[in-house]
Structure 1
């Protein structure tokens, strides 16, 4: 029998709680739900008002993995949705605005991915993002070197950068913006990616071409495009172990000497939140939001 629980007055059917989703560690679906309940406050803050894209892996990362943006069939009527303009026509997407909606989405076994803009101002970005993706044998250690260069370069333009792990191999850098057309943010981010390549030619590429990426860090500026999304802070990732896209400090980035230094799993996050709070909370401070130069 599927257990029924009540969250904020909403009844939820939570299924297959004992099912192992992460074979490397034996992490179960019940533990996934517990993790998301534990990090609900900061995660909800980063999800709120941003249309949600689902990366689902109901049988674990070794099973079928599929990406969806439209409202899933069977979505409860109390889950908020919003109409989002697209080049091929408007679509309706989910908004995760409360704990009950978060637990419903988590029960679908979901990576959370969100754009850099909010539903009420589509295509006006309030965040800038860089995705630093290492090409083997480069690792997150090399990403840290690039992140420090980008942090200082952004600071020269009046933008304060914050960092999180991707939860996979690399790093994400974010900065708060005054609402700015996504196309302008993408152009600015591309110019910095090209500048990073010119300054660090043995370490950086700004081009996605696979043959150019081994040994280098791909500075992906394209996730600033209005149609693109990035892994939401605190989301679990569809990896063999329950890795998390976890906010990190600049001292941690500066001192990183081995990939395991910045590898965080679900059980690591609650202690980090107790120690640091949400390291990305400054992104919500409108006083810190900057205009592009």
Structure 2
């Protein structure tokens, strides 16, 4: 069989080449048709305004599914996942076009890398040519200030439904988030995760470091849990129960969330879709927001068009954190690949913890 010739997609002022345009990336479902590689590239071009609002000038990791999405396919989450069909690309791929810009980022380990920094829609369209479905931008923007990549301009509130809870539960808790933020004089913008979760974003003044933003997320999460017994900030899954987990660790350095208008590797090509709060309240099935339906929505405008209109102070949320610390509620666990952090609780599953093996600072006692 003859190989299908490459196609081109108009992306802004550029024509971007897309190889293997007929490759099926998503198989057809009862509700949606099959999606080809060319359709993915065309989709990203069609949501240019909202997608670039999410990505422009941000270091961005790519979630690449070069063979498409199939039942049983896995996403590699570390160097030992040799047999996975998909992977994260945290460095500029070989063969990148000359218009693709990059920026040097620093990982928690202290290592450095050149990561993609999108400045025009041709970049994500080219990334589709490379098999990218999901973009993972950092919550920082490259500016002329050399310290800009160390000071987030975005607080990300990730509401993650645990087993026994539903998308509807996450929607309800998002409403409580909105109320709390409003009490503090802060405006949040909401989107679907593309799966069962809900994300609330807040533009913040880039005056604080990653650790401060993380503490603000913990402060908010704990206050939510105080107000609503279906909310938890428990890091260990065995302690979460049938509740909505506020994943505060998504605000750490090199921890990212699927961007607005990213596709997700689930049947039906769902999209992480910005909504108005009224739309969220009425939404029953987030799968209805997909590659086929979202371009028509954005033709009438992006619900996040005003997200950059005002940047808020993080101080009200840091005040919550500081009050909690004074009341005896301290630091929470960091991701397992992070170095041990000051004040962090023991990195051991609570059901396996032997108290006498740990000191009061969360360090293992030598010889135990």
Give the alignment's TM-score, normalised by structure 2.
0.73
Indicate whether 1:18 and 2:18 are aligned: no
User: Is there any run of 5+ residues in structure 1 with no aligned partner, and where?
Assistant: none
Shift of 1:65: 1.4
**Equivalence for 1:268:** 293
**Equivalence for 1:163:** 190
Shift of 1:168: 1.3
**Equivalence for 1:83:** 104
* 2:209 aligns with one of 181, 192, 201: 181
Rounded to whole Å, the distance in 1 between the matches of 2:299 and 2:177 is: 28
- Tell whether the 8 Å contact from 2:152 to 2:210 is kept in structure 1 after alignment: yes
User: Is there any run of 5+ residues in structure 2 with no aligned partner, and where?
Assistant: 74-84, 317-368
Rounded to whole Å, the distance in 2 between the matches of 1:283 and 1:271 is: 21
Rounded to whole Å, the distance in 1 between the matches of 2:239 and 2:26 is: 32
Of 4-13 and 231-240, deviating more is 4-13
Rounded to whole Å, the distance in 2 between the matches of 1:30 and 1:54 is: 18
**Equivalence for 2:361:** none
Shift of 1:248: 1.1
Of 228-237 and 95-104, deviating more is 95-104
Shift of 1:183: 1.4
Indicate whether 1:195 and 2:223 are aligned: yes
- Tell whether the 8 Å contact from 1:138 to 1:214 is kept in structure 2 after alignment: no
- Tell whether the 8 Å contact from 2:189 to 2:202 is kept in structure 1 after alignment: yes
Rounded to whole Å, the distance in 2 between the matches of 1:229 and 1:26 is: 28
Q: State the 4+ residue runs in structure 1 displaced beyond 4 angstroms.
A: 6-11
Of 167-176 and 4-13, deviating more is 4-13
Indicate whether 1:2 and 2:5 are aligned: yes
Cα distance, 1:248–1:10 mapped onto 2, change above 3 Å: closer
Rounded to whole Å, the distance in 2 between the matches of 1:127 and 1:162 is: 11
**Equivalence for 1:109:** 131
Shift of 1:186: 0.9
Rounded to whole Å, the distance in 1 between the matches of 2:286 and 2:57 is: 33
Give the alignment's TM-score, normalised by structure 1.
0.91
- Equivalences, count: 287
- Tell whether the 8 Å contact from 1:165 to 1:262 is kept in structure 2 after alignment: no
> In the TM superposition, what whole-angstrom CA distance separates every residue of 1:84-126 from its partner, at most 9, and x where no partner exists?
1233322101111112222111211211111111123112111
Q: Secondary structure at the match of 2:269?
A: coil
Rounded to whole Å, the distance in 2 between the matches of 1:9 and 1:249 is: 31
Cα distance, 1:242–1:51 mapped onto 2, change above 3 Å: same
Indicate whether 1:147 and 2:178 are aligned: no
* 1:217 aligns with one of 231, 244, 260: 244
- Tell whether the 8 Å contact from 1:132 to 1:143 is kept in structure 2 after alignment: yes
Indicate whether 1:280 and 2:280 are aligned: no
> In the TM superposition, what whole-angstrom CA distance separates every residue of 1:125-174 from its partner, at most 9, and x where no partner exists?
11111111111331110001111111111111121011000011111001
Shift of 1:227: 1.9
* Larger strand fraction of residues: 1
